[in-house]
Amino acid sequence: MTKPRTGYIRPLDLKNGQVDMTHGSGGRAMAQLIEELFLTAFDNEYLRQMNDQASFQIPAGRMVMATDSHVVSPLFFPGGDIGCLSVHGTINDVAMAGAVPLYLSASFILEEGFPLADLARIVESMANASRQAGVPIVTGDTKVVERNKGDGVFITTTGVGIVPHGVNISGDLARPGDAIIVSGTVGDHGVAILSVRENLSFGTSIQSDTAALHGLVAAMVAAVPGIHVLRDPTRGGLATTLNEIARQSGVGMMLRETNLPIRTEVRAACEFLGLDPLYSANEGKLVVICRQEDADALLEAMRTHPLGQDAALIGEVIEDDHHFVQMETAFGGRRIVDWLTGEQLPRIC
């Protein structure tokens, strides 16, 4: 790589500077932003190729590819920010095929006037998340739009990964009798975002659970290679994710409310706000469906991982031509856990 020649203009003012339209024009200012901010933070051998694409060796096999745009508001929230969220979110989508995530791309749409200090903080958070996960950001893009045509920063990440031989995980593989397990408490991310957006203070601090789940998934696949379904219940929460799977697999589900792990403070916040934690987004949790006889081994493997300590068996897959997700309530009744119809929380991720 040629040493960046950025001495010809003043260094970026990462303290008081702002994004302006020249940062998206393809010229010198854009090259400077990329070199002084993105390349410096994400530094790796692939980005150093300095081409419009990254290049890497891959083994033959089954690859997965996943993409997510992130528009979360506010950009900074308890437990994370749009930067680490955009890394975790796409790593998790790749991992939910049982795959080992290998590489990420990141594309930024910046609003004119956005403080460079905030951008630097976000980029640093992405870089940390990427390093901790061991999944490098190998290529990217930057665009700038005028004031009031964007909202600070939107980040689209795409990931690729390789599925280990013999692993075949898909949303259409849930079978009646299968066990339904969740990796931990549900609803944290959505409630964390809403609390800060509504400027609520409950005397407790509810943090987003944003985290990369590929390490947990690797431990799970090692323990039970024959996992049927894996999915991260993000937008729409656990309820929506289970309805998607029920429909895809052509089955029903029966949950047990008393088994659902929900933090006390999340439950309290939800009651206060009129929300249902089953529909509140998660960014560091997964749902797994496996044969009943594999459930104990899987739960044990999950509980020995830091991100699966609160793993719980929450129900089972049943036959149902209507593909309903039902729940035995704490009071002994039953209710349908339907799709989220409207909007619970906009711009949650």
Measured from the CB atom, is 243 or 299 closer to a second copy?
243
Measured from the CB atom, is 245 or 299 closer to a second copy?
245
Helices assigned H by DSSP within 210-331 = 214-223, 237-249, 264-273, 295-303
Shortest Å, Cβ 222 to a second copy: 20
Measured from the CB atom, is 164 or 259 closer to a second copy?
164
Shortest Å, Cβ 98 to a second copy: 10
Shortest Å, Cβ 212 to a second copy: 15
Three-class SS state of 158: strand
Amino acid at 155: I
Measured from the CB atom, is 236 or 308 closer to a second copy?
236
Measured distance CA(39)–CA(42) in Å, rounded:
5
Q: Which two tokens stand for residue 238?
A: 């656990």
Shortest Å, Cβ 340 to a second copy: 3
Measured distance CA(27)–CA(97) in Å, rounded:
40
Given a contact cutoff of 8 angstroms between Cβ atoms, the answer to whether 245 and 343 are in contact is no
Amino acid at 321: D
Given a contact cutoff of 8 angstroms between Cβ atoms, the answer to whether 133 and 38 are in contact is no
Measured from the CB atom, is 32 or 195 closer to a second copy?
32
Measured distance CA(38)–CA(33) in Å, rounded:
7
Shortest Å, Cβ 341 to a second copy: 5
Q: Which two tokens stand for residue 189?
A: 């991310």
